[in-house]
Structure 1
């Protein structure tokens, strides 16, 4: 067979591969995958073992029904563990009645994800980087499993993602979205901090966020909240050391080793499983100052990079991711839904700098998979400190440490002075 014959025989296969890549790279395939992934996650939330929708139907629904019946409004009549706007989606999920609360909640989250997905894909010609980021997000959701939809964090992720994606061209809109997200669940405030450091329109961003926050607090006060509107600060401070928290590993391994001095118990006030043992309360108290030190360290790194002229598109993604990971590692709670926080900054990084963000994208995917293995399917084993589950949690924490190290290095390099300022830098990187 001649070389010409080989080329002629391989031509149909090449055309088929090209056609397949074109189909998979189109909007129709991406939206079909979006529907399939979310349909699977909805089914898992409704039917998977471990009751993954437990917090939604067992806790959120009770809060919403108590308010609807005029009994008590969380965050208004009494202090609450969440910021005041968290009550909005919880109340909205009662739209079709108590019996359909779980399904309505899932519908709200899927709708918010669809809006963020549409923003990610954009209205122009679909770029390679946005296509890559979209496929990664869908894979991340599938690896993370039902927890990706079944907590209040799931409401804030698409809001935060839209804010970061609009940060370069619409910083005021980004500030509005991230501020709203922070008043639903605190963590988007970390992304807002990254935006404030990286943006050249810091005054506008800060003004928008401050004005909106004053408005939210003002409405809460008019509703009769008093200091209860800020009660989530004290409520978080009173928590003990939850078993999924990174610092809890030291005590979990003691249980694995047979220590009778350490045990796992259920706190009926906070509704979480926590650690009891020598030094556990001290460790829980230390998480807040440790978190503060970590946040300040990342902030100083970001300020250094910004002052040295780091381009917006090179600084914002790793800085936002660094803030999110610090909040996860230094957290006394460590709930599995916290992993959802990684999605927004990683998606932004893949849109702007896909080659550089390959490592954090893979690390985040691995963290998501380990999270689903732990919760909800084998969570009962973690409650008895089974060595396999404690080991899986340890690997997850180590991956988070590696991810933080990557972020710190990336932020430091962004301020290395080797890159000159360019206007609209965040958009130029999308063609990488």
Structure 2
């Protein structure tokens, strides 16, 4: 009976995946038009423009929208492996294959003792909630690398370290996967891989690390947590602007620099907390590596000056790895991330005009989405701490003085 039940559950899982992914492909191939701004234009216009530059053997040095580490050139150039398709269509097919890889990575260990298919369900149900954005950005490819690193982490620390380093050179954030790694082999492997790839890109293509200055000069993007300050302030006469800046819609005007600096301060505080956790953590389980990575990326995301819709792809993938362990305590933060993904597609692209205008509906959507992410971050951090850090020993109570023996007095 258990085998039949497992087989039926797998059939439902694969059927749900097939239907939802077919719908996503229909949207990105524009058989059906998804409401709101065209999210596929990043691939057909921006990525395609970078592709033409990268083919010449150099990075887009004159384009401030190129804000990615050097290995990001690989997914941008990857449609060349499918020359019989247009650039955009080839990219969507490769993004779909990355989605297949994530599902396979989550399903393979689900039959092991202590593992569960819940992680695969989180990915199958959570990713399509973001709409066609999932296949219209290269973040799903980075997420596949990150999921592979975490799945390999418990048994193959060198592989985990190499994949984390490669992911970091794709889009920085996978470096946080190493937060919970305790084996030196993982760190040495990451250091060797990162150094080797960085040197290779630096020698072979000019401008490999020009993205660092572009990132430094970014402001506060309209979907970030700090942006809520200005969305509300606009209703009270704040004299600022909403403009396309460094490839995203950002606030420009009075006090924007202050809020951006505060966001960087919060990121620093988050890293400080993660360092303290690493020094204090004494109880580790097989799922601790994934839970630490999930918590770290959550904290990094909510304190960032930019929270783009595709960032939720990372969080869904990491949440899926966490809940694939039956003993994981990240069920509630994972559900919050899935809920935030649904609110995200309502906010972008469906309601993005309301966000840009800072009207009440737009502010409500943004506050709800960011509130869910903040709640997920705090819950994940609290649960990670309590499950791994032993409570501080309490000092014994001082001995109480004995009561003096009283002899009853005869009447």
Per the normalisation by structure 2, the TM-score is: 0.86
Q: Which of 240, 243, 250 is residue 265 of structure 1 equivalent to?
A: 243
Deviation at 1:76, TM superposition (A): 7.4
Q: Which of 46, 50, 53 is residue 40 of structure 2 equivalent to?
A: 53
Q: Does 1:281 align with 2:257?
A: yes
Q: Which of 334, 338, 343 is residue 307 of structure 2 equivalent to?
A: 334
Q: Does 1:359 align with 2:332?
A: yes
Q: 1:174 to 1:126 in 2, by over 3 A?
A: same
Moved more, 389-398 or 348-357: 348-357
Match of 2:408 in 1: none
Once the two structures are superposed, residues 133-169 of structure 1 have per-residue CA deviations (whole angstroms, 9 ceiling, x without a partner) of: 1112111012222222221212101110111111111
Q: Which of 293, 315, 320 is residue 269 of structure 2 equivalent to?
A: 293
1:83-94 maps to which residues of 2 (within 5 A)? 83-94=69-80
- 8 A Cα contact 1:83 1:229, kept in partner: yes
Deviation at 1:302, TM superposition (A): 2.8
1:5-404 maps to which residues of 2 (within 5 A)? 21-26=5-10, 28-45=11-28, 46=30, 47-49=33-35, 50-68=37-55, 70=56, 73-74=58-59, 80-96=66-82, 100-122=86-108, 125=111, 129-194=115-180, 196=181, 199=182, 201=183, 203-225=184-206, 228-255=207-234, 257-267=235-245, 270-305=246-281, 308=282, 310-353=283-326, 356-404=329-377
Once the two structures are superposed, residues 35-65 of structure 1 have per-residue CA deviations (whole angstroms, 9 ceiling, x without a partner) of: 2222212222333132111211120111102
SS at match of 1:336: coil
- 8 A Cα contact 1:85 1:183, kept in partner: yes
Deviation at 1:210, TM superposition (A): 0.9
SS at match of 1:82: coil
Deviation at 1:182, TM superposition (A): 0.9
Q: Which is greater in Rg?
A: 2
Once the two structures are superposed, residues 89-125 of structure 1 have per-residue CA deviations (whole angstroms, 9 ceiling, x without a partner) of: 1111244459722221111111122122212111784
Distance in 1 separating the partners of 2:84 and 2:227: 36
SS at match of 2:171: coil
Distance in 2 separating the partners of 1:89 and 1:185: 11
Distance in 2 separating the partners of 1:361 and 1:239: 29
- 8 A Cα contact 2:110 2:117, kept in partner: no
Q: 1:314 to 1:111 in 2, by over 3 A?
A: closer
Unaligned runs of 5+ residues in structure 2 are 392-411
Unaligned runs of 5+ residues in structure 1 are 1-14, 419-432
Distance in 1 separating the partners of 2:239 and 2:215: 26
Distance in 2 separating the partners of 1:292 and 1:213: 23
RMSD of aligned C-alpha atoms?
2.5
Per the normalisation by structure 1, the TM-score is: 0.82
Q: Would you say how many aligned residue pairs link Structure 1 and Structure 2?
A: 386
- 8 A Cα contact 1:336 1:371, kept in partner: yes
Q: 1:335 to 1:78 in 2, by over 3 A?
A: closer
- 8 A Cα contact 2:153 2:289, kept in partner: no
Distance in 1 separating the partners of 2:111 and 2:257: 54
